[in-house]
Every structure is written in structure tokens, then in C-alpha cells.
Amino acid sequence: MKQARPITVTGGRLVLPDGMRPGALRIVDGTIAAVGEAEPQDGDETIDAGGALIAPALVDFGVFAIDKPAFHFGGIARAALMPDQAPPLDLPSRVSHLAKSGKPDFWVHPLAAATRGLEGRELAELALMKEAGARGIATGRRWIADSGVMLRLMQYAAMLDLVVVAHAEDGALVGSAAATAGEVATRLGLPAAPAEAEALAVARDIALAELSGARLHFRQVTTRAALDIVRAAKARGVTVTAGVTPPHFMLSDLATADFRTFARLSPPLRCEGDRQAVIEAIGDGTIDVIASGHDPRGPEDKRLPFADAEPGMAGAETLLAMTLTLVRDGVIDFPRAFDLLARAPARLLGVSAGELREGFEGDVALIDPEKPWVVDRRKMEATAGNTPFDGQPAQGRVLALFKGGIAP
């Protein structure tokens, strides 16, 4: 489906990489034709933004399920899909099928499984999966323990110019832990792993990235020690980026105190000091991406004892609103927020999106950043409402969304 006629959006506040300014935007044949001084032409559909933000649609980096209604609610037009599917994305045919799914109103960018069956032993057919549409290579929910396998993976990824998306937890230390070791886990009697499991994994993988020249992205970095390692690596020129999800800057492990399994996440919630370290890292640029980690889980996975419940959250609908709390708190500004939510993830995927720029895809969201609402798991668009933010007041709603100039 192609855009029927040009669209000109007027009367809004453009969110651009170098700042914000009043202006208009025109989308023609699915791409952005003009930004700033755009004027409606004969035959255009004209939309008055009414003072709303005119922003790039979000690019969600590292989701585990595709829930189009939930993504559209959250202003997300593209998502990088993790390989942890059934079956895993370890064959070109599976990658190709998913790369073609969702269009035209939502684009799925598959991340190829790094190893066969995501078992961490034998490399998958990486080059063929790139040809089939893979936009990156991911280790999945688990860390690759074998350093030799991880080095070979990074060497191949460097040759293919694909980003390696790594899970940052030393599996031998984590085991079947459900919480971060500390006062809260001890008081609740939960199986726990030391926060240092993350720093150890990050340090090893950064060393291998330096050795191989690969582009490395940690899907989530959630502890002060690991963030310090990433910060130091960036300072010496390593091509490493880091992501995080909203629970790790909004919540600490105190949220697990009532054994509420919606707060059972991977990696688990950290102590308050680590939460503050994540906020600092978002503010100083150490963290590059904020993603939803969208992983809806039904009652069969969540209505269990905390240690037995599956980790994961339905995050697509709350991603934007939770990130905008950082703007209201003065940690970041609007351009930086949309760099984290759209521009940086689009760069990692190598797609011409995530930014209001002439010639880029017409993926645009109109947003009221002040619009209040309450997160209610019973009313969510996702296939399951397992959100740790259930009942929380929020601000920021998408008023309209365009994918390639087409409203879903």
C-alpha cells in the first residue's frame, strides 16, 4: 500500500536532532519531502497539529513479540525483533518470513540468532540471514559463555557490518536467580545473583569487541559497575553502545517486595544506587537507546510463585510516557529523548528512519507530551497486560501516527 496523497502537518513543534522549533512537515510518496518551512500544495491532506510535538515515530530496539495495536498506541512504527522465537530465528527462511511481516503499517527488523538454537555453541548461517533481511545478530536472552565462540561471532559480524546485540549477564553466576543479591532478595528469600554478573559479562564482551573490531550493543546495562566499564570503553574509542528499558530507571528492587510477578524481569530490578546510576548514564550519553523490551506474558507465565514466573513485561504502550518523565525531571530534553527512542536505534539497524530529515521514511508521530492517563493492565492493547507500571499515572500520549505517510 502506497501513500494515497501528500500530507502536510502544520502548527506543531518539530523535534529535530539539534533542537525544537515551530514548523511544518510534508510527506510525499512515503518519504519526508520538507521539514520546517513546508507549505501545503494543491491536493495535499493538511493536518493541524494544534501545537503538538511533530516527532519521529519510535524505533523499538529488541522486542520479543510483535503486537501491532500496542506498538501503534505507543507511537512505534518499527521494531527490531529478538531471535528468541519458536522456533528461533536461526535460519534464513525464518528471518525472511518475519522481515516481510507487518507491512505496510509496521516494519519488523529481525535480529538473527547468533548460534544455532540460541544454544551458544555453533554459529548460525549469519551471512545468509543478512541476505534474508536480518539487521543485526543477537545472542538472545542468554549470554554466550564460550569466549571462543563469541570472538568468532564478532569477527564474522565485523566482516558483515552487522551489530552484535549481547545479553549482559554471566550465565554461570546468574543461574536460575530471580532477583539481584542484596537486602531485598535476602528478606524475601529469593534466589539471587550478584549485580557483578553484569559487569563481568560487559567487560569480557567489550574486550572481544576491541579485538575483533565488531560493533557491539548491550541490549540492557543496568548497574553502576557495568555502566562505568561502558563509559570507559567509549572514551577510548570502542564501538560499543548500551540500552536500557524504563523499569530500570523508574523502579528499584523494592518493587518486588510484595512478590508481584509483573516486576519479575530480566535482568532483574536493581538497588536504588544502580537505578540512579542508570539515570546518570542516560543524562551523560553513556546509554544510547531506551527500548520497551516488549515481552507480553499471560497468566500461565505470571500467576506463579515469584521465582517460578517467567521474566518479561508488556512495554510498548508505556515506553514513550515513561521516557518523558526524564524530560520533566530535567535529565534530558525532547531532542535527546527521541534520539534514545528513535534516531539511535535506527542508526544501529541501518535504516533511514528515526529522524525528521528530508529523504527519510515518513514515519512520524504527533504527540501531546502533557496528556494525562493512567496505566491500566485491563485496558492495554497488548496480548497480555503484564506491566510493572499498572495503576501508575502517566503523561504523554500519541495523537496520530504515520508509517511511510500512512496512518495505521
> Tell me, what's the pLDDT at 196?
97
Question: What is the residue whose three cell numbers read 559463555?
Answer: 145
- Which among 90, 87, 93, 83 is positioned nearest to 63, based on CA atoms? 83
Alpha helices per DSSP H over 314-384:
319-328, 334-338, 344-349
For the chain, the distance separating the N- and C-terminal CA atoms, rounded to the nearest angstrom, is 11
- How does strand 164-166 pair with strand 179-180? unpaired
> What does residue 374 show for φ and ψ, rounded to 5 degrees?
-120, 130
- Identify the CA nearest to 178 among candidates 163, 198, 159, 192: 192
List the domain boundaries for the chain.
57-352+383-394
| 388 alpha-carbon distance from chain centroid | 17
* Per-residue 3-state assignment (H helix, E strand, C coil) for 102-160: CCCCCEEEEEEECEHHHCCCCECCHHHHHHCCCCEEECCCCCCCCHHHHHHHHHHHHHH
Domain covering 57-352+383-394 assigned CATH 1.20.120.80 in the classification: no
Give the chain's length: 408
- The pLDDT tens digits along the chain (408 residues) read 677 799 999 999 999 999 999 999 999 999 999 999 888 888 889 999 999 999 999 999 999 999 999 999 999 999 999 999 999 999 999 999 999 988 888 999 999 999 999 999 999 999 999 999 999 999 999 999 999 999 999 999 999 999 999 999 999 999 999 999 999 999 999 999 999 999 999 999 999 999 999 999 999 999 999 999 999 999 999 999 999 999 999 999 999 999 999 999 999 999 999 999 999 999 999 999 999 999 999 999 999 999 999 999 999 999 999 999 999 999 999 999 999 999 999 999 999 999 999 999 999 999 999 999 999 999 999 999 899 999 999 999 999 999 999 888
For residue 133, report the phi and psi dihedrals to the nearest 5 degrees: 125, 5
pTM: 0.96
371 φ, ψ to 5°?
-60, 120
Query: Residue written as cell 553484569?
Result: 198
Cell triple for 105: 503499517
Q: What is the sign, positive or negative, of the torsion defined by CA atoms of 308, 143, 319, 379?
A: negative
Q: What was the pLDDT predicted at 224?
A: 98
Residue type for position 361 = E
Other Cβ atoms within 10 Å of 177 Cβ, number:
20
